[in-house]
Amino acid sequence: WLCRGNPETQKAIWFNLQNGVLIGAVTLNQGREIRPIRKWIQSGKTFDAKLLIDENIALKSL
């Protein structure tokens, strides 16, 4: 699991990647991000883990 954000601030997303493919995610106070994450999981989209957890990059741009 990879964490984007800081759980201590009560705002984070954990991503589960398998061979670069997003297979699961858990959000904490990040409800706006759920829709694109669900689409990515269903489509089997692959990601560069470094980009996925970089908070300076908008998730929508990935």
- Percentage of residues in the chain having pLDDT higher than 90: 97
- Report pLDDT for 30: 94
pTM of the complete model: 0.91
- Scored b (16 or more CB within 10 A) or e, 11-45 reads ebbbbebeeeebeebebeebeebeeebeebbeeee
pLDDT, tens only, 13-33: 999 999 999 999 999 999 999
Q: Could you tell me the residue ranges of all domains in the chain?
A: 2-61
Collect all residues with Cβ–Cβ distance below 8 Å to 17 and sequence separation of at least 6.
Answer: 2, 23, 47, 49, 52
- Report pLDDT for 17: 98
What separation in angstroms does the CA of 6 have from each of 9, 20, 54?
6, 22, 12
Average pLDDT, the chain: 96
Looking at the domain covering 2-61, what would its CATH class be?
alpha beta
- Report pLDDT for 58: 94
- Report pLDDT for 20: 96
